[in-house]
Each structure stands twice: as C-alpha cells, then as structure tokens.
C-alpha cells in the first residue's frame, strides 16, 4: 500500500482561502493518473492528512484512493489504523511526505519517500528523495518507481502503445 500525505505532497502546500473560509488546493493531473495505475496494478492507496477539508475528500474520490484519514495530527496512530484495516504490515507500505509531522509514520514503513522540496529533517531520514516537487509530479514519480519495482509499469505502458 502506498500512503500519501496531502499538503505539500499531492499539492504544492499552498492553500487558497475564500472569504467564507472555503479552502482551494491544486492537484496535478499526472499524479492522479499514477495513483489510478497503482490501483490497476493491485497496489493499495491511502491518504493521511493532518488537515480536514472537503476538497481532499473530493480529490480522493475522483482518483479512487481506497483509504482516507483526515484530521490526523498523530500520523503514527493513523498508520496503525490503516494497518489494522488492511491487514498489512508497516514493512509492506510506502509513505511519501514533506514535513516533520510525517516523521512518526515515515520512519516506520518499508519504503519512505520525501518530495524534493520537503523539510530538510525529512529529506535526511527517507530512503528516496523525488526529483519533482510536491504538487508538481512528485507523486507520479513515486508511483512510477513503485510500479517499475513491482512489475506493473511495462504492462500499463504497453496498453497505451497498441
């Protein structure tokens, strides 16, 4: 299962506020397709976000993310909930994050990723740092790495070359 932080990972970390407090965020379309490809390859997906906004639910539904935990200030607890739900071990999970709030989860999974513009304390503690920035292709890069490592990449690509 691949677990994604939202702000700064699926987005560039910027939040746009409307006058009535409505929050707007930008997501990258190529990240969304990468997440769909994970599902197609039989790999689980999840979101753990400290914030709780309707826009995240909307985006997660659009790209068919299986598990969504919002309002999770304790990301280790959220990870434990996901593991219990799915029956997976932390070793069987990947996590991609960008800030120190992700460290309690990111340091426990089998493969850890930081976006290239993550906080330096996170960059120092992960297995892989992406070439792309959060909200700007980092998630697609992670999806591609995982698909290539698990054999799912070539069949999906070839389905578009017929």
Residues that bind Mg ion (CB under 5 A): 5, 7-8, 98-99
Give the nearer residue to Mg ion in terms of CB position, either 7 or 141: 7
Q: What would the 3-class secondary structure string for the chain be?
A: CEEECCCCCCCCCCCEECCCCCEECCCCHHHHHHHHHHHHCCCCEEEECCCCCHHHHHHHHHCCCCEEECCCCCHHHHHHHHHHHHCCCHHHCEEEECCHHHHHHHCCCCEEEECCCCCHHHHCCCCEECCCCCCCCHHHHHHHHHHHHHCCHHHHHHHCCC
- C-beta of 93 vs 122, nearer to Mg ion: 122
Residue nearest Mg ion, CB atom distance: 8
Quote the least distance from Cβ 48 to Mg ion, whole Å.
10
Shortest separation between residue 45's beta carbon and Mg ion, angstroms: 17
Comparing CB distances to Mg ion, the nearer of 8 and 34 is 8
| Between 5 and 144, CB nearer to Mg ion | 5
């Amino acid at each position: 299962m691949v677990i994604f932080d939202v702000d700064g990972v699926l987005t560039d970390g910027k939040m746009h506020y409307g006058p009535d407090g409505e929050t707007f965020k930008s997501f990258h379309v190529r990240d969304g397709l990468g997440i769909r490809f994970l599902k197609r390859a039989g790999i689980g997906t999840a979101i753990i976000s400290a914030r709780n906004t309707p826009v995240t639910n909307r985006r997660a539904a659009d790209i068919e993310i299986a598990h969504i935990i919002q309002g999770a200030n304790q990301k280790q607890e959220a990870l434990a909930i996901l593991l219990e739900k799915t029956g997976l071990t932390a070793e069987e999970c990947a996590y991609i994050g960008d800030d120190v709030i992700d460290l309690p989860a990111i340091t426990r999974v089998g493969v850890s990723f930081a976006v290239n513009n993550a906080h330096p304390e996170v960059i120092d503690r992960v297995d892989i740092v992406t070439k792309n920035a959060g909200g700007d292709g980092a998630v697609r890069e992670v999806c591609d790495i995982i698909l290539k490592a698990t054999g799912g990449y070539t069949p999906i690509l070839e389905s578009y070359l017929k």
